[in-house]
Chain A
């Protein structure tokens, strides 16, 4: 009996040791499981002028965020003066689509003016700092040249310019209605301004933006990330940054062959060597040959 009792006790001891070893081997995975993040907040950068290419990069980032199961909220890091009208509308739709699937919070880290405000408008909340800038809700276009240049054959009167100046005005007005209408569709319940006041295309510093409803809260990008995580119900989360495409190192240093210093509007938005009518949602003064006089007129008239 005692011999049998002793062997049973030994066997139990061996089993306990084996169980301990197995438990210790598996325990780190259980620890990891317990402490692993609930999900990821993606910070999507919208930096620099909005062109077809830069908008495509942001739209791809947003699609990645939607399709990646671990990403549960998006923070749109906006610092852009806007850009072409069509690319801005594409961005608006992409952000709106993302906001339909997961919390999207915009953080204005510099400027969200014109086209980039268009992109930020569908976000659940827009975070600003007192010095960051929102607004400039409007559209501008260059007027087409009316005459057919000598030495060219074209098949119709509008082949060169694309449209008459009156038609350009109509189209700009149509784009303005779409822009202002979209801003009111997204934020109409929060904006304290009338449509006419918004159409003045003023830019507002962050604090006034919060007051008039073009922005929601004062806070930095980390506050925005926290708010996005809260909205998604994440208490423990990772942050990944999806960066905007960087200009080449040479261009950053100003050493590139074709860019001397600041890139002009033509270099950024026009097709090389072809002068087309540009519909822009862009904040700031642009210099084109045809617009230069008009800009000076406005400057003097308001001076």
Chain B
């Protein structure tokens, strides 16, 4: 067992391997607040990668309704229960032990899935969901926790609430699937950190399905192998003919109707922390503003999909799901800085991956009051650039309004 640094936990932890030579990491920010659960992402993925015999129950991208929904059923409740059973009452955080760069959420005092595993039968604590558990990917769709006869108001909908959780493979920095594979058939690409199952070497042992806490490694009976989200790597690396050689966002991101997704590649240091790169929109959202948080960081895999938490959901539930950074993240989202408001406009405005951005200041055009606090809104322009510094998109904070002349309205 090696010792590696997990910045999301603010401490070293045990892992089967030393950290690999990943120089850039696939990462994305999903804004839960904007998702309408149209499942366009789900179908974009399905129709691209998993439409063939043996993949019927396979949804590399899925959107589930929390708190009751889950694909596979109850995946998160089950892994949290297993962890709690192995370290009862001690799966806690010390948020005060923080360091803005190396431990932004404080320190996790509990045990990761690698630390509760026996190292004999399992390299990471996990379980193998049965086929039945994969059969209803959108059960409990739109189910709230309760009925709010009097309606609900921010800051928390404490009577009845639900939200949509968009999930793909987290392309973890310390993947449990990779640690669990007895054949070393799973690898993490140095150039972008995408985690892949080598289809030539896989022998379908399903140890990865068992170990992945997010259950994003799936078994395909027609080939007796396991398959998983490949991060649309031909698009990310720019080798797909569609891309014209320029890195492009995966299908699920590019297809997002609700404009909730922004994908990027972040540079990483030898210890797995992110390089300081405040002009990369993902770094800006995660590191600088800390408005987007990892999903169940306490499991220890250092997942790389970051979520802007839903602002109406009771905080204890969100803290369990996203760690102690929740209150800060929601506060930043409710009361965004001038820069954050600009960067939030970059979601889904280009298929090409935005590697850096610049903000050109505009005039103040509005004053609003949110949660009792006054905000000035500026019509700033945010410009996104690709990996070679070419401009790929330019968008304003103030959405342009066009009025169609009445005489042209033929409806």
Q: Are the chains A and B members of one assembly?
A: no
